[in-house]
């Protein structure tokens, strides 16, 4: 159906129904941590933070240099950007935690695979928001397939998320 859509044609879509990142608690120097497919959601957030006069820094993690993308786009925004690759073929060898040299950060945002999100939350002594990546069967909260356990009980990533405060998550 999408292949048949013509340029300029109006399409009615039901997309994400719940919350996204909030820039309100970020402070002046937020840190954005992205891993692989978790990097694109941070681009729009970064643009919004820059428009608000904040000075974000971005740390991106990938498997190897051939997987790295958006580095130049973040640089063009005037944002400090660091890259980590697991094999060391570009940037720092290791994970986003290895590439993170932003000790003056006031808040963090993270989007990426669960092991990365867990590591960022456990290593960070500042508040933050995490966009969870879970398999979703229905995307509307009916199947309960994307349920995670939080301090306030079970939450569906598709319905009550995907963004949760660091303090809510049980790792």
Residue ranges of domains in the chain: 25-131, 134-162
Mean pLDDT of 62-76: 97
Pair of tokens at residue 154: 């079970």
Give the model's pLDDT for residue 100. Answer: 84
Residue 125 carries which DSSP code? Answer: S
Q: Tell me which of 66 and 100 has the higher pLDDT.
A: 66
Measured CA angle at 149 (ends 86, 117), to 5 deg: 20
Least trusted range by pLDDT, from 10-14, 55-59, 63-67, 147-151: 10-14
Three-class secondary structure of residue 106 per DSSP: coil
Give the model's pLDDT for residue 32. Answer: 98
Please provide the CATH number assigned to the domain covering 25-131: 3.40.50.80
Give the confidence band of 22 by pLDDT, cuts at 50, 70, 90: very high
Mean pLDDT of 72-96: 97
Quote the pTM value: 0.89
In this predicted structure, the answer to whether residue 101 has a pLDDT above a threshold of 80 is no
Q: How far apart are CA 57 and CA 145, in angstroms?
A: 34
Give the confidence band of 16 by pLDDT, cuts at 50, 70, 90: low
Phi, psi of 114 (to 5 degrees): -55, -45
């Amino acid at each position: 159906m999408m292949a048949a859509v013509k340029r300029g044609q109006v399409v009615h879509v039901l997309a994400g129904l719940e919350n996204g990142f909030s820039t309100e608690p970020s402070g002046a120097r937020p840190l954005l941590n992205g891993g692989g497919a978790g990097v694109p959601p941070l681009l729009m957030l970064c643009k919004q933070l820059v428009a608000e006069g904040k000075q974000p820094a971005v740390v991106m993690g990938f498997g190897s240099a051939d997987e790295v993308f958006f580095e130049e786009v973040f640089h063009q925004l005037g944002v400090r950007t660091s890259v980590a690759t697991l094999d060391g073929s570009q940037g720092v060898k290791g994970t986003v935690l290895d590439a993170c040299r932003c000790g003056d950060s006031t808040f963090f945002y993270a989007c990426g695979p669960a092991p990365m999100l867990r590591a960022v939350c456990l290593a960070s002594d500042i508040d933050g928001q995490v966009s969870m990546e879970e398999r979703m069967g229905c995307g509307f909260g009916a199947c309960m397939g994307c349920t995670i356990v939080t301090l306030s009980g079970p939450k569906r990533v598709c319905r009550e998320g995907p963004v949760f405060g660091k303090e809510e998550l049980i790792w």
